[in-house]
Amino acid sequence: MNRPILHIVIACLYDRNGQVLVVRKRGTRYFMLPGGKVEGAETPLATLARELHEELGMHIEAEAFDELGEFEAPAANEPGHWVMAKAFIAPLHQTVEPLAEIEELAWLDPHAPTPSYPLAPLLREQLLPQLRAVPALADA
């Protein structure tokens, strides 16, 4: 099957308690990790810097991020599409606010049962199991 593929870059931003920031875009129901689509010849970290600034008003130096891996799953908000995501992880030491298309923020405990709010397939099926094995989130 030939599905359209969206190339995205996402950030797992965690607080000192090991809680992971998730966002919900306006007009959608699924919570996901912040990030977005690569534009033109952007590098993954340039995409992440742009998206985090636009969506959350934040600035994180590229050196703060560690690569988590590459993941793929059905797109949450674009039926018939598939997302291929490059994921990065970093501690979050600043306040964030929902800007641009972000309507809501939440904090997800990767070790707790699945939350009552719906998670995007990429987060639920691919990233949560990966996040549970990250020492920085287990030791918090």
pTM across the whole model: 0.93
Average pLDDT, the chain: 93
106-125 residue pLDDT tens = 999 999 987 889 999 999 99
Question: Which residues neighbour 114 within 8 Å (Cβ) at sequence distance 6 or greater?
Answer: 124
State the Cα–Cα distance between residues 59 and 100, nearest whole angstrom.
15
The reported pLDDT for the residue numbered 16 is 92
State the Cα–Cα distance between residues 101 and 56, nearest whole angstrom.
10
Count the domains in the chain. Answer: 1
The reported pLDDT for the residue numbered 139 is 62
The parent domain of residue 55 ranges over 5-138
Classify 84 as helix, strand or coil.
strand
Classify 111 as helix, strand or coil.
coil
Nearest to 14 by CA among 124, 94, 117, 120: 94
CATH of the domain at 82: 3.90.79.10
